[in-house]
Amino acid sequence: MYCYRLHFTAPFHVDGRGTGFYEESESFIRSDTLSAAIVSIWALMEPQKATLLAENPPFILSSAFPFFRETYFLPRPVASQAVRLSNEKLGVGKRLKKIRWLETSLWKQVAGGQSLDDPDSLHIWQDSLATPSAVGANFPDRLWAEEERPRLSIERHSNRSAEGQIFHFGRIYFHHQGGLYFFARFSDDASREDFEFALSLLADSGIGGDRNSGNGLFQWDHGPDLGMIDPGNGPSIAISLVNPSPTDCRENWLDGAAYSLVSRGGWIGGTGLRRSRIRMFGEGSMFRRPLEGRVVEVSPEPAGHPVFRDGRGFFVSVGESQ
């Protein structure tokens, strides 16, 4: 398991809704978006392998999550969101409910069954990030900031601005000492080397929307070992989006599971066509055993060429590393 950090040198825009809703951008990058960006760059390097790479990439990626300096965050386990509070603590319920990201040591405790019910023991940052109280003492007010910038609509047939048609475009700026990080697994060392070369090209071309304006540029480096362990065949938490394969859907496969569902759609670049919309299990979903997931063809009719969405699962163990 390898860890990669993205240090953004420009703001980025990622449409989490897949509906062309430009006003807002997600503040993290989901695994299917990251995988598609890498595959697109890799296909430019080896165009004869483009379809094969899209159907079966030689890597599996987690989603990309926030970090600040040496503090790393993971998505809150879905099972921890049903918090039972005493009457004395009911007033802090909304504050706890907003927490979306947990510092890794706190995440391991919560994933192992510890309740997240005492805000006095936490440093809650930007309403959505939580660390043990001692860890977050010297953090800035915000790890990222959101900006909405007015834009003019352009008529496709004339390439001129559409009179009176203004929209707002949302972008995310990260603190210069923070960014996003993700995990990766590879089929072999050669694939890892090719992946890192593609990641370097992606850093120079940008990720997300409006790259022609310089958005989405970053630098990358290797992150540390965060003590995450492979799940084996035991209880596991997804840190990617997952679209279950037919072999995953065995009898009673959802018994004891705690999961969220995320709808994924979007546009096919340069075509004006929409991808077929599918649902995925969200990050933080927990199952009795890891799911393999699958790459799903999401080509509309007619698309001209196959289009895929990576729904393979990246799982880590609920237990502590040894």
Q: Is the domain of 123 the same as that of 243?
A: no
Within-domain flag for 230: no
- The pLDDT of residue 246 is 93
pLDDT at 70 over 90: yes
pLDDT at 31: 96
180 by DSSP, 3-state: which?
strand
Both 84 and 170 in a single domain?
A: yes
Is residue 322, in this structure, part of any structural domain at all? no
Residue 302 maps to a domain: yes
Q: Tell me if 59 is assigned to some domain.
A: yes
Domains contained in the chain, number: 2
Residues 77, 200, single domain; the answer is yes
Tokens for 6? 């993205």
**Residue among 121, 63, 99, 15 nearest 238 (CA):** 63
Average pLDDT over residues 230-254: 92
Q: In the prediction, which pLDDT does 160 show?
A: 62
Instruction: With a cut of 80, say whether residue 177 has pLDDT above it.
Output: yes
Whether residue 190 sits in one domain with residue 79: yes
* 231 belongs to a structural domain: no
Q: Which residue has the higher pLDDT, 176 or 94?
A: 176
Phi-psi region of 126 (alpha: psi -120 to 50; beta: other; left: phi over 0): left
pTM of the model: 0.88
Same domain, 115 and 40: yes
What is the mean pLDDT of the segment spanning 110-115? 85
Domain boundary residue among 190, 222, 254?
Answer: 222
| 241 and 211 fall within a common domain | no
Higher pLDDT, 155 or 68: 68
Which residues pair with residue 80 across a beta bridge? Answer: none
Mean pLDDT score, 263-292: 82
Lowest mean pLDDT among 66-80, 90-104, 200-214, 219-233: 90-104
Phi-psi region of 284 (alpha: psi -120 to 50; beta: other; left: phi over 0): left
Residue with the two structure tokens 């040496």 = 70
User: Could you tell me the pLDDT band of residue 303, with boundaries at 50, 70 and 90?
Assistant: low
On whether both 137 and 207 belong to a single domain, the answer is yes
* Terminal Cα distance for the chain, rounded: 16
Judgement on whether residues 214 and 267 belong to the same structural domain of the protein: no
Q: 153 in a domain, yes or no?
A: yes
Is the same domain home to 175 and 134?
yes
Percent of the chain with pLDDT over 90: 50
305 Rama class: left (phi>0) / alpha (psi -120 to 50) / beta: beta
pLDDT band at 321 (very low <50, low <70, confident <90, very high): very low
pLDDT of residue 23: 66
Radius of gyration of the chain (CA): 20
In a domain, 91, yes or no: yes
Within this chain, do residues 214 and 243 fall inside the same structural domain, yes or no? no
Q: Which domain holds residue 295?
A: 236-317
Average pLDDT over residues 45-66: 90
**Which of 172, 187, 222 is at the close of a domain?**
222
Helix axes 31-45, 189-205, angle to 10 degrees: 100
